[in-house]
Amino acid sequence: MGDWYVIASIPTYIERDAWNAVESYKLDPDGTIATTFTFNAGGYDGPERLYTPRGFVVDRTSNAVWGMQFVWPIKADYRISYLSDDYSQTVIARESRDYVWIMARTPQLSEADYARLTDFVAAMGYDLSKLRKVPQRWPESAQARGGKP
């Protein structure tokens, strides 16, 4: 749960020109995940876009397979394919290998971490030529906290 900066993605239509993309998750008492996805469209100063899909844990054994509902009744496949031991980095994938997201608790990753995660994504069968780094620029105070301003 909490805030995750989108470091890179094979983006959906709505996020193909996203800057400062952040996905936030909160577990609700009914077991669903309240999700807030925000980004600036087209540049750091572009208009803010806000989406609030709801997540549903499908695989209760691993908690790694979700349905993400942007529009009722459709629940898109959303899989936590990688999660670092310290919960600082993750890869969210889909069974159909059409979209993928590399996310982190901080807005930047080291080159070594980014290379390791892109290698992981490639090994899953994704076409890395479609992967787009999401520009992230935040005030130093936000980065020091590991969160948004």
Tokens of 28: 């609700």
Per-residue model confidence as pLDDT tens digits over 28-73? 999 888 999 999 999 999 999 999 988 777 777 766 666 777 655 6
Distance CA 132, CA 116 (A): 16
Quote the pLDDT of residue 109. 96
Per-residue pLDDT at 148: 55
Residue 143 tokens, joined: 């980065």
Q: What residue type is 148 in one-letter code?
A: K
Nearest to 4 by CA among 83, 104, 100: 104
List the domains of the chain with CATH numbers. 2-139 (2.40.128.20)
* First-to-final CA distance of the chain: 18
pLDDT digits (tens, 9 = 90+) for 124-149: 999 999 999 999 998 764 554 445 54
Q: What is the pTM of this model?
A: 0.87
DSSP for 62-120, please give it: TS-EEEEEEETTEEEEEEEEEE-TTSSEEEEE-TTSS-EEEEESSS---HHHHHHHHHH
Q: Which residue has the higher pLDDT, 1 or 105?
A: 105
Which pLDDT band, with edges at 50, 70 and 90, does 79 fall under? confident
